[in-house]
Structure 1
């Protein structure tokens, strides 16, 4: 392993360690946010492993680590802002909240997610899908825009797509891990979300991250930045609405019936089960 790869692997491993702390805290509180934190932890560990073994061979491992850290920073900031508000208001994970009740220190896509999975009444697959939507369609282009202020992001597109390969290949394993840890009946939930869970796949990871790169490019173009900002702010809320209340009436009825027939079926790991 080169020195650059070793330092990059250590940096990504540090991100994973911090994510593990969020998983432990959220699981102890029976907070639905634990599901995505655990998913994110496993994907980050997969990236750290890829850097460690040198497969694939990244051209600039330090840039890969920088992106991983910058992207995680967006997630940590949103989560910490939500935690601070909850502590200040006495809101618990079992409290149902509306997006408009949440503070603007939390970005709009994450307000939509936190509201949608609040109250402990969401499905495990919703916890994963909604958060992935916010993290990829909003956090990722924003993180890359921040990075562009200090380095040339566009010259690293090859490494970006190698990251997509690593994460896309890992997602099947992560699905199994989520099912084992939180919901043995994840396959049943797939039937409810059959038209909306493409994001939770190898193909979906690649396509959504490719779209994030496109939106990053729009954000850095003065002529397109306003439309891009509006798009990445509102796409998560629109996605959640489409999952919960599909436009086609027959599908809407079928979705509602499916939610009645398939309860949440959530389980929580024991306190001794380390992530």
Structure 2
């Protein structure tokens, strides 16, 4: 699929969510979260909250198409960026808990796709003009994450164990690639915007490599986090369609 505007992105994500609910595919977990973020961004565009609404529509469309391209490549022949292959490759792994699936998607989309989309929004222009609107998305993401956190808590009652054994709250787990990685994504976007084609390809390869390493750490954490995840797995919901529906309804404004 190829989106032409942010409405197409919302519709494409909604289609993935509906199909995932029908088939019981865990790909719907991150797609549900991502759909809600995109709806919130679209609302902010319509309300004139960004400096340049049409530019943000272009930005979000490029960003969404990065996800769709990775999703289509995986479905077609298990190809695509390595970090997305790591993420999609765990969809059938019953040992991977709900919050891990969410964070794996956030990691790949933020740590790889975001900088590429930002750099490509207005090629040949001053990328610094995008900075204010880029940062404004942080507030939207934080708001959606807080809401989805409540949904994950309801689905995974022992998730608070990760706070005790890992020094993180479940919000922090969901938020790790939003507050910290977005700052790095902006740095990389500026870098990409000033590079030639060969340099951009090398930078994108480096970003993919780093995101792949992070995906493996998220999927198979070391230390005492691993037994905590095992306990969480045994107590959280295993009804995939119900989990997708619950996550997709987390933000009232998206209904």
TM-score range, shorter chain: 0.7 to 0.9
Corresponding position of 1:267 = 239
Q: For residue 80 of structure 1, report the CA deviation from its aligned partner.
A: 1.3
Q: State whether structure 2 residue 10 is matched by structure 1 residue 16.
A: yes
**Cα 1:65–1:226, aligned 2, differ >3 Å: closer, same or farther?**
closer
**Cα 1:207–1:48, aligned 2, differ >3 Å: closer, same or farther?**
same
Which aligned pairs between 1:1-275 and structure 2 lie closer than 5 A?
11-54=5-48, 57-85=49-77, 102-103=78-79, 106-149=80-123, 151-180=125-154, 183=156, 185-188=158-161, 194=167, 198=172, 200-201=174-175, 204-222=177-195, 225=200, 228-246=203-221, 252-263=222-233, 265=236, 266-270=238-242, 275=248
TM-score (norm 2): 0.79
Q: For residue 141 of structure 1, report the CA deviation from its aligned partner.
A: 1.2
Q: RCO higher in 1 or 2 (8 Å CA, sep ≥ 6)?
A: 2
Quote the RMSD (CA, aligned, Å).
3.0
User: Structure 1, residues 232-256: CA drift from partner, whole Å, max 9, x if none?
Assistant: 111222213333455xxxxx34123
Q: For residue 227 of structure 1, report the CA deviation from its aligned partner.
A: 5.9
**Cα 1:12–1:184, aligned 2, differ >3 Å: closer, same or farther?**
farther
**Cα 1:240–1:39, aligned 2, differ >3 Å: closer, same or farther?**
same
**Cα 1:175–1:214, aligned 2, differ >3 Å: closer, same or farther?**
same
Cα distance in 2 for partners of 1:237, 1:214 equals 19
For structure 2, the 5+ residue unaligned runs are: 249-255
Q: For residue 13 of structure 1, report the CA deviation from its aligned partner.
A: 4.0
**Cα 1:15–1:191, aligned 2, differ >3 Å: closer, same or farther?**
farther
| Structure possessing the higher radius of gyration over alpha carbons | 1
